[in-house]
Amino acid sequence: MTQASGTLPPHAIPPYAVQDDDLALLTDLYQLTMLQAYWGEGMRERATFSLFFRRLPETRRFMLACGQQHAAELATRLRFRDAHLAALAETGLFDDAFLEWLGDWRFTGDIWTLPEGTPVFENEPFMEVDAPIVEAQLLESLVMNLVQLETVIASKAVRVVLAAEGRPVMDFGLRRMHGVDAAVRGVRAYRTAGLAGTSNVLGGLRHDLPLSGTMAHSYVLAHDDEEAAFRAFARRYPGTTLLVDTHDTPEGVRKVIALMDAEPGLRVGAVRLDSGDLGALAREARALLDDAGNPEVKIVASSGLDEWQIAALREGGAPIDGFGVGTEMGVSSDAPVIDLSYKLVEYAGTPRLKHSPGKVNLPCRKQLYRRHDAEGRFVGDVIALRDEPGIEGEALLRPLVRGGRLAAEEMALAGEARERVADALGRLPEALRRLDPGPGDYPVTLSPALQRLREQG
Amino acid sequence: MTQASGTLPPHAIPPYAVQDDDLALLTDLYQLTMLQAYWGEGMRERATFSLFFRRLPETRRFMLACGQQHAAELATRLRFRDAHLAALAETGLFDDAFLEWLGDWRFTGDIWTLPEGTPVFENEPFMEVDAPIVEAQLLESLVMNLVQLETVIASKAVRVVLAAEGRPVMDFGLRRMHGVDAAVRGVRAYRTAGLAGTSNVLGGLRHDLPLSGTMAHSYVLAHDDEEAAFRAFARRYPGTTLLVDTHDTPEGVRKVIALMDAEPGLRVGAVRLDSGDLGALAREARALLDDAGNPEVKIVASSGLDEWQIAALREGGAPIDGFGVGTEMGVSSDAPVIDLSYKLVEYAGTPRLKHSPGKVNLPCRKQLYRRHDAEGRFVGDVIALRDEPGIEGEALLRPLVRGGRLAAEEMALAGEARERVADALGRLPEALRRLDPGPGDYPVTLSPALQRLREQG
């Protein structure tokens, strides 16, 4: 194994999180050693790398391709700084001439991407990078890391949204997600997937999802009694949500009712249930509130919820008006990874293919076509060669970066991801919108030319 | 539900990752609304919050407490910037006077922490924060996010290290981890857990773990044939590792041998197996290499490995000299979360306790004592009140922050986490170092005073 070490220059205050300026260096060592080898061997021909996954997780019927357009945008502004080059020099693995070249490294190629939020299936390209191999190779590790996160999170979240059947779902996952980047970019994925709000202030402000919040048990406990806590918070935040399970849920609801009776001007928007049998407690709370003449006070629930539990609560008719979802959605606990690959499929104009028994490997530059029926419903996809004529359907891969420059009008479409997903959900076969696996696979076929190439390969 | 939105001021170039300057704003909305409520109610008394988990994941025998000292250090430098205050003002939830106060917010309290890498068990405090409630409350979301990541990753990784029984384990997980912060701080957790190296350049440079790398299939495929790729890479990087499974593993090994025969000066350090039956292929590769007089060429394996597969390979006697581990370790796929709680346990000198049927809630400021036998082995822990006299054992919680100031000499000890873990593994009961659950729980008891308080509560 090539082993090496080096040091970054000391900071007056060491950075805690990863700063944008350092992202070029967030790569696997072998990308840099391979780059130097290509460079030294004079291998400057254009390559195409294709980003796709081979297999859906067992508990997914489709994935939402997310993060690829943002990753492509970032690729156009990756730069190696002097501090990076100094640290790489110290490893002893790299020549001065190569490091000088790396200091001038810019991405000058093309990147084709699916629009943010496109539903995708096995073997379908999310992104294809056409560039000199010394540029396309370098993007691998970072692009995979970035796309993996948003795709995994959005694809879990959309199931939660579907299970809630129109009831608002709020992200409460900041504390459980894997680090600060996951928590913040996760909110972008949640926005795409259709969540109604987030408790995450930085995430919501940065990625344009409404902020949402209630109160914590600690607030109740810091007061002398629950009534005092409810009164102070509801006076301060008219229409807020009060957390009623600190001691006993029905008792908490009764205190909210007593408070509203005692102060008729006080508005309480909702009560939140955060423990126990949520279905039974919601029914009891609803009855108490209705009997007291407060049908306008809503009930929101949280406490380890996932799409299955929400579906069960909905099926059981629990009168819950909104769901706060954290842990299970925040790490996509049933499917925390997708087996993304970033494969060399063409070099110097020649198809390239790894021999992988039992695996589908598709050579050459490609395009993905989605076919619709007369009502606009998706009826099947065709993976074809990029320039193959005569393939029906909507061509989904679009050139977002050309010659290292971002097409601003294409990038602007990334902002419409939420609307795209909402629209696409209505066009997906109904079977795919169910949580359970079952009959109704989505047909993905290979074009005639790609089929021929595979058989030759 | 309190709902609100606002906008951060536009950036010339929007930041991609989370910058350190923005971390104060990485909190749940309710922390800020509760802060304003406390502030408005004149609630400035000191509170103590305790960070712990209630239940070990099924597949863990212990956790390594990681990230709490770094999070405490960060707490001393959190600041709200003008841009944050402007965005919060726009939500309409906050008064100008409160925002002015927030602009001056500093952490002035004390933080007691376990040293980085301490093995911990159910209900044991990782950290206790003693501060005015308006300071201690605010830390909750960010501290939990930060500690959760490093604790989850290190606690998975240490199992992989144990399974490898002294063979080096390398982190190959950058592409699968949840975002850029997880990938980089994950390397700090890997260092603590005892990994030998990482492929992650920024992570390794920043957190002082040797960089490690081989080559990718794309490098082989970009060349006209495998021999050409091996020759070019081995000439460029003497002693490197060659990836031999692009077409056929035994055939790849034969090509490496032929290359070494043809160029006697060429040094190949190892071959890497990345697919197929790793045990059988390793034996075949070892035999081929030994028969050809190359016993010094090592064999490293990767491909979806976790602690169970490594243990099976070790038990099967597979001649593998090192392991590259990515996906499963990178997201801790069998236990991607730990149910950390950050609970108010004392306010204004009074114990506070949420009523949670079936759950252990421990009021008041605490200390954790670990008892050793004559050989220094850990024989049991006692959770006690912070100032309770007469408890035997080593007091593990240490005051890292006093009056808002970091104790530099304590913080320096965080750098010794790797050595601390290596030492602690030898002191843990042997049963806990096994991968499988089984007899041999570690005894954690409550001190007499804490027991009495619980019974009264």
CATH number at residue A267: 3.20.20.70
Same domain for B382 and B436, yes or no, is: yes
pTM over 0.80: yes
Judge contact between A20 and B200, C-beta under 8 A. no
Task: Quote the longest CA-to-CA distance of chain B.
Answer: 82
Interface mutation vs chain B, best among A45, A175, A188, most B CBs within 10 Å = A175
For residue B336, being part of any structural domain is answered with: no
A22: which DSSP letter? Answer: G
Q: Where are the beta strands (DSSP E) in B167-292?
A: 169-171, 197-198, 211-213, 240-243, 268-273
* Same domain (yes/no): A76, A211: no
Tell me, what DSSP letter sits at residue B303?
S
All residues of chain B having their beta carbon less than 8 Å from the beta carbon of residue A327 are 337, 339
Cβ-defined contact of B1 to A322 (cutoff 8 Å): yes
Pair A108, A65 in one domain: yes
Please tell me the distance from the alpha carbon of residue B47 to that of residue B352, in angstroms, as a whole number.
10
Share of chain B above pLDDT 70, in %: 96
ipTM value: 0.96
In the predicted structure, residue B36 carries a pLDDT above the cut 90? yes
Contact A182 B183 (CB under 8 A): no
Residues A272 and A341 in one domain: no
Residue carrying the six token digits 């041999």: B440
- DSSP code at position A105: -
* Token digits of residue B265: 């000066």
Segment A141-165 shows an average pLDDT of: 98
Q: Which residue has the higher pLDDT, B457 or A339?
A: A339
A326 and A344 share one domain: no
Give the tens place of pLDDT for each residue, A208-241.
999 998 899 999 999 999 999 999 999 999 999 9
Cβ atoms < 10 Å from Cβ of A280 = 13
Same domain, A311 and A205: yes
Q: How far apart are CA B246 and CA B254, in angstroms?
A: 13
- DSSP annotation of A7 reads -
Nearest to A369 by CA among A147, A129, A120: A120
How is residue A67 annotated by DSSP?
S
Q: How far is B342 from chain A (nearest CA, A)?
A: 9
Please judge whether A181 and B177 are an interchain contact, meaning their C-beta atoms are less than 8 angstroms apart.
Answer: no
- Does A148 contact B176 at a Cβ distance shorter than 8 Å? yes
Sequential DSSP letters for A220-285: HHHSSSHHHHHHHHHHHSTTEEEE--SS-HHHHHHHHHHHHHH-TT--EEEEEE-SS-HHHHHHHH
Chain A residues 219-238 within an 8 A CB cutoff of chain B: 219, 221-222, 232-233, 236-237
Q: What is the CA radius of gyration of chain A?
A: 26
Residue A53's pLDDT is what?
97
Q: Which residues 323-352 of A are in CB contact (within 8 Å) with B? A: 327, 330-331, 333, 336-337, 339-340, 343-344, 347, 352
Q: Is the pLDDT of residue A356 over 90?
A: no
Q: Which of A18, A224, A354 to mutate to test the interface with B (most CBs of B within 10 A)?
A: A18
Mean pLDDT of chain B: 94
Q: Considering only residues 239 to 268 of chain B, which have any Cβ-Cβ distance to chain A shorter than 8 Å?
A: 239-241, 246-248
Would you state the pLDDT for residue B10? 57
Residue A381, helix vs strand vs coil: strand
Closest Cα to residue B228, out of B270, B263, B265?
B263
Q: Is residue B450 part of a domain?
A: yes
User: What's the angle, vertex CA A322, arms to CA A318 and CA A326, rounded to 5?
Assistant: 110
pLDDT in tens, A270-297: 999 999 999 999 999 999 999 999 999 9
Residue recorded with tokens 């006093």:
B402
Burial zone of A60 (CB within 10 Å; 0-12 exposed, 13-18 middle, 19+ buried): buried
Q: In this structure, are B175 and B279 located in the same domain?
A: yes
| CA A378 – CA B66 distance, rounded (Å) | 47
Which pLDDT score, from 0 to 100, does residue A8 have?
A: 67
The answer to whether A270 contacts B1, with C-beta atoms less than 8 Å apart, is: yes
Q: What is the pLDDT of residue A31?
A: 97
Do B350 and B292 share a structural domain?
Answer: no
- pLDDT given at position B16: 86
Instruction: Provide the token pair at B249.
Output: 């593993």
Mean pLDDT, residues B150-176: 98
Q: Are residues A279 and A212 in the same domain?
A: yes
CA angle B360, B362, B363 (to 5 degrees): 145
138-167 of B, contacting A, C-beta below 8 A: 140-142, 144-146, 148-149, 152
Give me the residues of A, 42-71, that contact B with CB < 8 A: 43, 47, 49, 70
- Chain B segment 78-137 residues within 8 A of A by beta carbon are 87-88, 91, 93, 133, 137
For residues A261 and A294, what is the distance between their CA atoms, to the nearest angstrom? Answer: 10
For B174, which of A28, A241, A330 is closest by C-beta distance?
A28
Report the sign of the C-alpha dihedral through residues A24, A28, A32, A38, in that order: negative
Contact by Cβ (8 Å): B199, B211: yes
Residue A374 lies in a domain: no
Asked if A384 and A156 count as a contact pair (C-beta separation under 8 A), the reply is no
A354 → closest Cβ in B7, B211, B246: B246
Do the domain assignments include residue B2? no
Whether residue B288 is found in the same domain as residue B175: yes
Residue B57 reports pLDDT greater than 60: yes
Q: What residue ranges in B54-195 does DSSP mark as E strands?
A: 63-65, 110-113, 118-120, 127-132, 169-171
| Residue A391, CA distances (Å) to A367, A383, A394, B294 in order | 10, 9, 9, 54
A163-to-A174, A189, B340 alpha-carbon distances in Å: 21, 17, 27
Cβ distance A200 to B1 less than 8 Å, yes or no, reads no
Structure tokens, A146: 């970035």
**Cα nearest neighbour of A46 on chain B:** B222
Phi, psi of B311 (to 5 degrees): -60, -40
Distance (Å, rounded) from C-alpha B66 to C-alpha B122? 15
Residues in chain B with CB shorter than 8 Å from the CB of A25 are 201-202, 205
Q: What is the pLDDT of residues B101-144, one digit of tens each?
A: 999 999 999 999 999 999 999 999 999 999 999 999 999 999 99
Last residue of a domain, one of B330, B352, B381: B330
3-state DSSP assignment of residue B134: helix
Pick B1's closest partner by Cβ from A33, A170, A232: A170
Query: Is pLDDT of A11 > 60?
Result: no
From the list A211, A213, A337, the residue facing B333 with the nearest CB is: A337
pLDDT digits (tens, 9 = 90+) for B394-451: 999 999 999 999 999 999 999 899 999 999 999 999 999 999 877 678 999 999 999 9
Chain-chain contact of B25 with A205 (C-beta, under 8 angstroms): yes
Nearest to residue A449, comparing CAs of A394, A390, A397? Answer: A390
Q: Could you tell me if B178 and B331 are in contact, meaning their C-beta atoms sit under 8 angstroms apart?
A: yes
Task: Please state the rounded mean pLDDT for residues B268-296.
Answer: 97
Are A249 and A279 spatial neighbours (Cβ–Cβ below 8 Å)?
no
Structure tokens belonging to residue B423: 């030492």
**DSSP label of B168:** -
Mean pLDDT within A416-438:
94
Number of domains in chain B: 2
Look up residue B25 and give its DSSP letter: G
- B201: chain A residues, CB-CB within 8 Å: 25-29, 32, 88
Domain that holds residue B198: 155-330
Judge whether B11 lies within some domain: no
User: Is residue B368 within 8 Å of B124, Cβ to Cβ?
Assistant: yes
Q: Which DSSP state fits A200?
A: B
What is the per-residue pLDDT across B327-381, written as a single tens digit (0 to 9) for each? Answer: 999 999 999 999 999 999 999 999 987 767 677 789 999 999 999 999 999 999 9
Examine the domain organization and report whether A167 and A268 are in the same domain: yes
Per 3-state DSSP, what percentage of chain A is helix, strand, and coil (rounded to 5)? Answer: 40, 20, 40
Q: How far apart are CA B73 and CA B64, in angstroms?
A: 19
Q: What is the CATH number of the domain that holds B123?
A: 3.20.140.10
Check: CB of residue A182 under 8 Å from CB of residue A17: no
- pLDDT tens, position by position, B204-219: 999 999 999 889 999 9
Measured from the Cβ of residue B36, the count of other Cβ atoms closer than 10 Å reads 22
Residues 420-439 of A with CB under 8 A from B: none
Average pLDDT, chain A: 94
* Residue A12, pLDDT above cutoff 60: no
Backbone angles phi, psi at B452, to 5 degrees: -65, -45
pLDDT in tens, A382-394: 999 999 999 999 9
Tens of pLDDT, residue by residue over A67-121, are 999 999 999 999 999 999 999 999 999 999 999 999 999 999 999 999 999 999 9
pLDDT value of position B353: 78
**Helix (H, G, I), strand (E, B), or coil: what is residue B340?**
strand
Lowest pLDDT segment from A87-101, A158-172, A435-449, B418-432: A435-449
Is the Cβ–Cβ distance between A247 and A227 less than 8 Å?
Answer: no
3-state secondary structure A126-180: CEEEEEEHHHHHHHHHHHHHHHHHHHHHHHHHHHHHHHHCCCCEEECCCCCCCHH
Q: Does the pLDDT at position A1 exceed 80?
A: no
The domain boundary residue, chosen from B305, B330, B355: B330
Predicted local confidence at residue A15, as pLDDT: 79
- Residue whose tokens read 């909110």: A187
**Are A30 and B199 within 8 A, CB to CB?**
yes
Helices (H), A338-416: 408-414
Q: Are residues B172 and B313 located together in one domain of the fold?
A: yes
Cα(B120)–Cα(A217) distance, rounded to whole angstroms?
Answer: 25
> What span, in angstroms and rounded, lies between the C-alpha atoms of B428 and A150?
39
Q: In whole angstroms, what is the distance from residue A44 CA to residue A136 CA?
A: 11
| Rounded CA separation B448/B74 (Å) | 35
pLDDT for residue B62 is more than 70: yes
* pLDDT at A437 (0 to 100): 78
Give phi and psi for A349, each to the nearest 5.
Answer: 80, 5
Residue A390 counted as domain residue = no
Q: How many contacts (CB atoms, under 8 Å) link A and B?
A: 385
Q: How far B58 CA lies from chain A's nearest CA (Å)?
A: 14
Whether A11 is in a domain gets the answer no
Q: Is residue B25 part of a domain?
A: yes
